[in-house]
């Protein structure tokens, strides 16, 4: 799971760079990048935590960041040449959200 979260964050960085080169930077893209980094960072912190409370807290924050990534991706209006990448990222993060452990499982 850790590798999948890392791969998603790398994919977002690549996507944002491609879009910025073509269409220019905007606040939504910067927010997407920040949320993807937060998603990965909180997930890693959860994996490294030894206490149940810390683990739950980091997983919860990770899930919030992932959901925010999903919302931002869905809100971005792009040229058609980026549509496939956008849809792939939406599918990827939606799948990851479902895989994040919930409190009852810990």
How confident is the model over 24-60, as pLDDT tens digits? 889 999 999 999 999 999 999 999 998 988 999 999 9
Sign of CA dihedral 49, 51, 54, 57: positive
Q: What fold does the segment set 2-105 form as a domain?
A: de novo design (two linked rop proteins) (1.20.1440)
> With left for phi above 0 and alpha for psi between -120 and 50, is residue 46 left, alpha or beta?
alpha
Please give the helix or strand (H or E) that residue 23 lies within, else none. helix 2-23
pTM strictly above 0.85: yes
Kindly indicate the confidence band of residue 6, based on its pLDDT and cuts at 50, 70 and 90. very high
Tell me the backbone φ, ψ of residue 56, rounded to 5 degrees: -60, -40
Residue 31: what pLDDT? 97
């Amino acid at each position: 799971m850790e590798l999948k979260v890392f791969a998603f964050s790398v994919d977002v960085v690549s996507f944002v760079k491609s879009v910025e080169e073509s269409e220019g930077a905007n606040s939504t893209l910067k927010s997407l990048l920040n949320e993807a980094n937060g998603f990965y960072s909180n997930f890693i912190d959860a994996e490294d935590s030894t206490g149940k409370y810390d683990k739950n807290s980091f997983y919860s924050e990770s899930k919030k960041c992932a959901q925010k990534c999903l919302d931002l991706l869905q809100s971005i209006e792009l040229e058609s040449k980026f549509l496939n990448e956008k849809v792939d990222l939406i599918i990827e993060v939606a799948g990851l959200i479902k895989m994040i452990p919930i409190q009852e499982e810990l």
